[in-house]
């Protein structure tokens, strides 16, 4: 974890994402994060916090004509924002790939699962169609799909939700990426299936030594898979730290509120410590703390300037002026 | 602030001892054609006591939403009986129209549940006007209710659904459900689409309203943390059947049905030093089209024995907890033939 170790797999520096349209939306407002090879970062946030947009920036999946991306995005030593079309298509899948919430939309309905995986292998490697199909079979075994030979020839609609999710993971791993991006991959699944997929991802990450960025709104899910967590609010990372530190000693009032609202251990009859109000509209870039209007600890200074990302040592940061003044809320 | 109730027959007719709602052997099958039948709800028995909140949990296809729709009589049951405060629903004693004044529902999709062409005060006032309340009085009450659910009528009453956030729209749906002064409110995944910080606000609101109006809730959710927080008793469903029902803390602390145990241990851990190491169940929940014979859970159950594949276990009271807990498992039925069943004598 020291700075002298090898170059990070992912380094985002002051990334901003703005969507142009009838109304400009400032979706991501100065995100900086790093991920070491073979580590798992969980990004926790509510809808509109910018977590999925941040993830898509790493693959340049946002519509180019309507999106302005600022800052620097380095993955495995490559400048993602500077890539041309050919470089981008060589990069996608082989260095970085992604899994999504809805596998029914991510898989092509008119090709079998085997054809889709084999295509993605031959796209990146000079290999015969037969060898690619054999690799596809290995991948289905890797993600523990029952009767993989049969499933190779199955179309996505012939599979259950959990099995489709496994097939999508196999597809994402086809070209042996170094970085896997996961955008709420278990949110649509039933509880008993969700835990199976989380354990599978954890196992694959360890066995293949991949870096993973896992976006979720569910703290429990983030805890199951992550080494470190970043909490996002209104397009900014408000707090980062190891899972342990963040859960035991949250510093940002929003992180505290989110933990309290998650109901783990909440007993019947107690009042929930709900965060009042709703997240801000992102029509303007933030000029002061975005959370201040909902924050019970807000003071006049919170409304005057953007709080800096303060380092609390060992890759732990928090964007709150109270942390700076040492006035950590009890 | 006190609100006048427009429902004249909302008084407690059956007395405190009569459950507000009793479902007896409720069954709803959907034919698919070609002889296939989705056995969505298959002989479900439960009651909801006055003033309590009954949580209903289960995975997709377990029949929890179909149960809610049958209870609301949005779809008629194939078989079985529904009693509201001791009277059969849809008979001369309690017509459907009278029943629906007293039982209301809030759905998951806050946007789809509201008429996009009505202002929210008109939406909330709509039900009472159908039931004969003069328009002006209904609007006045709608504005009172909007204030109750935390939406300042001066700011919000004239807005349309698309001008509100998801949390605000769900507050409107709650206000509308309360407009007729119901005694029973069915909440079908009513907070599931909301962000966590907003969900907590709405849960607090539901708790306040329950207190203030003496409401009884049926709270359907896939989120076990939320159900634990809001419920007095919890009913666990699997493939169209009730597998376990009991007081919330008993059930969470000591789940008796193997499926309840699996469901609870599938909850993600909140302790980074104590992560889940093994998934409690393999595979997906099976399809309710051709549910397994005998106990419907037996193909996935770690304790299944011969009897489980042959005989369907009845939902019986366990020997402890003063019969408040009922479980449908051969391991709980004396003399069932399962090696872990209690001996016959002790059950007597």
What's the pLDDT score for residue A7?
A: 85
Using an 8 Å CB-CB cutoff, list chain A residues near B60: 190
- Average pLDDT, stretch A52-73? 96
- Average pLDDT, stretch B150-155? 94
Residue B193 has pLDDT above 90, yes or no: no
Residue B11 has pLDDT above 70, yes or no: no
A21-60 pLDDT per residue, tens: 889 999 999 999 999 999 999 999 988 899 999 999 999 9
Which of A46, A162, A268 has its CB closest to that of B196? Answer: A46
Using an 8 Å CB-CB cutoff, list chain A residues near B248: 268
Contact between A224 and B225 using a beta-carbon 8 Å cutoff: no
Which of B225, B273, B285 has its CB closest to that of A190? Answer: B285
Mean pLDDT, chain A, whole residue set: 91
Domain boundaries, chain B: 21-237, 240-270+290-347
A207-253 pLDDT per residue, tens: 999 999 999 999 999 999 999 999 999 999 999 999 999 999 999 99
What's the pLDDT score for residue B323?
A: 67
Architecture field, domain B21-237: 3-Layer(aba) Sandwich (3.40)
CA distance A82 to chain B (A): 35
B315-344 pLDDT per residue, tens: 998 866 566 899 999 999 988 999 999 887
Using an 8 Å CB-CB cutoff, list chain B residues near A279: 195
Q: What is the 3-state secondary structure (H, E, C) of chain A?
A: CCCCCCCCCEEEEEEEEEECCCCCEEEEEEEEEEECCCCEEEEECCCCCCHHHHHHHCCCCCCHHHEEEEEEEEECCEEHHHCCHHHHHHHECCCEEEECCCHHHHCCCCCCHHHHHHHHHHHHCCCCHHHHHHHHHHHHHHCCCCCHHHHHCCCHHHCCHHHHHHHHHHHHHCCCCCEEEEECCCCCCCHHHHHHHHHHHHHHHHHHCCEEEEEECCHHHHHHHCCEEEEEECCEEEEEEEHHHHHHCCCCHHHHHHHHHCCCCCCCCCCCCCCCCCCCCCCCCCCCCCCHHHCCCCCHHHHCCCCCCEECCCCCEECCHHHHCCCCCC
B274-290 pLDDT per residue, tens: 999 999 998 888 888 88
A105-154 pLDDT per residue, tens: 899 999 999 999 999 999 999 999 999 999 999 999 999 998 999 999 99
Residue A3 has pLDDT above 50, yes or no: no
């Amino acid at each position: 974890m020291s700075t002298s170790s090898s170059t990070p797999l992912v380094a985002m520096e002051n990334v901003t994402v703005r969507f142009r349209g009838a109304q400009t939306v400032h979706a991501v407002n100065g995100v900086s994060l790093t991920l070491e090879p073979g580590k798992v970062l969980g990004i926790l946030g509510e809808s509109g916090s910018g977590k999925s947009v941040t993830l898509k920036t790493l693959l340049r999946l946002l519509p180019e004509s309507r999106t302005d991306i600022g800052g620097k995005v380095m993955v495995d030593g490559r400048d993602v924002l500077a890539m041309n079309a050919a470089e981008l298509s060589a990069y996608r899948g082989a260095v970085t790939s992604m899994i999504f919430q809805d596998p029914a939309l991510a898989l092509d309905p008119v090709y079998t699962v085997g054809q889709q995986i084999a295509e993605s292998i031959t796209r990146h490697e000079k290999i015969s169609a037969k060898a690619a199909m054999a690799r596809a079979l290995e991948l289905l075994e890797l993600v523990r799909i029952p009767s993989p030979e049969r499933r190779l020839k199955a179309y996505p609609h012939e599979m259950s939700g959990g099995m489709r999710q496994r097939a999508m993971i196999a597809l994402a791993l086809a070209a042996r990426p170094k970085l896997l991006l996961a955008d709420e991959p278990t949110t649509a699944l039933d509880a008993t299936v969700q835990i199976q997929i989380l354990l599978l991802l954890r196992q694959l990450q360890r066995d293949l030594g991949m870096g993973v960025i896992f976006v979720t709104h569910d703290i429990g899910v983030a805890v199951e898979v992550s080494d470190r967590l970043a909490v996002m609010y209104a397009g900014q990372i408000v707090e980062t730290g190891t899972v342990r530190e963040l859960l035991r000693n949250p510093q940002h009032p929003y992180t505290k509120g989110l933990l309290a609202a998650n109901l783990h251990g909440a007993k019947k009859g107690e009042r929930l410590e709900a965060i009042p109000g709703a997240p801000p509209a992102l029509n303007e870039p933030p000029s002061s703390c975005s959370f201040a209007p909902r924050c019970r600890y807000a003071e006049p200074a919170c409304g005057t300037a953007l709080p800096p990302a303060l380092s609390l040592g060992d890759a732990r940061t928090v964007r709150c002026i109270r942390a700076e003044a040492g006035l950590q809320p009890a | 602030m006190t609100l006048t109730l427009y429902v004249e027959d909302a008084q407690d007719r059956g007395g405190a001892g009569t459950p507000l709602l009793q479902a007896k052997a409720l069954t709803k099958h959907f034919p698919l054609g070609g002889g296939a039948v989705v056995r969505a709800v298959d002989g479900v028995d439960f009651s909801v006591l006055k003033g309590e909140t009954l949580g209903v949990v289960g995975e997709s296809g377990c029949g929890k939403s179909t149960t809610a729709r049958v209870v609301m009589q949005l779809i008629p049951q194939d078989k079985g009986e529904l009693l509201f405060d001791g009277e059969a629903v849809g008979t001369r004693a309690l017509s459907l129209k009278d029943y629906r004044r007293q039982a209301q529902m809030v759905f998951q999709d806050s946007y789809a549940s509201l008429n996009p062409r009505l202002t929210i005060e008109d939406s909330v006032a709509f039900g009472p006007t159908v039931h004969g309340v003069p328009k002006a009085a209904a609007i006045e009450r709608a504005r009172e209710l909007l204030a109750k659910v935390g939406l300042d009528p001066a700011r919000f009453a004239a807005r349309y659904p698309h001008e509100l956030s998801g949390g605000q729209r769900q507050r409107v749906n709650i206000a509308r459900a309360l407009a007729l002064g119901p005694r029973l409110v069915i909440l079908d995944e009513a907070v599931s689409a909301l962000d966590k910080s907003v969900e907590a606000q709405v849960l607090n609101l539901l708790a306040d309203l329950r207190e203030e109006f003496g409401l009884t809730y049926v709270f359907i959710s896939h989120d076990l943390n939320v159900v634990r927080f809001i419920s007095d008793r919890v009913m666990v469903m699997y493939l169209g059947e009730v597998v376990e029902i009991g007081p919330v803390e008993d059930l969470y602390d000591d789940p008796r049905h193997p499926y309840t145990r699996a469901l609870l241990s599938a909850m993600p851990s909140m302790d980074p030093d104590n992560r889940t190491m093994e998934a409690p169940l393999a595979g997906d929940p099976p399809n309710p089209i051709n549910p397994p014979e005998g106990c419907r859970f037996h193909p996935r159950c770690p304790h299944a024995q011969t009897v489980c594949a042959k005989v369907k276990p009845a939902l019986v009271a366990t020997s402890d907890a003063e019969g408040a807990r009922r479980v449908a498992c051969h391991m709980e039925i004396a003399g069932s033939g399962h090696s872990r069943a209690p001996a016959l004598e002790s059950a007597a």
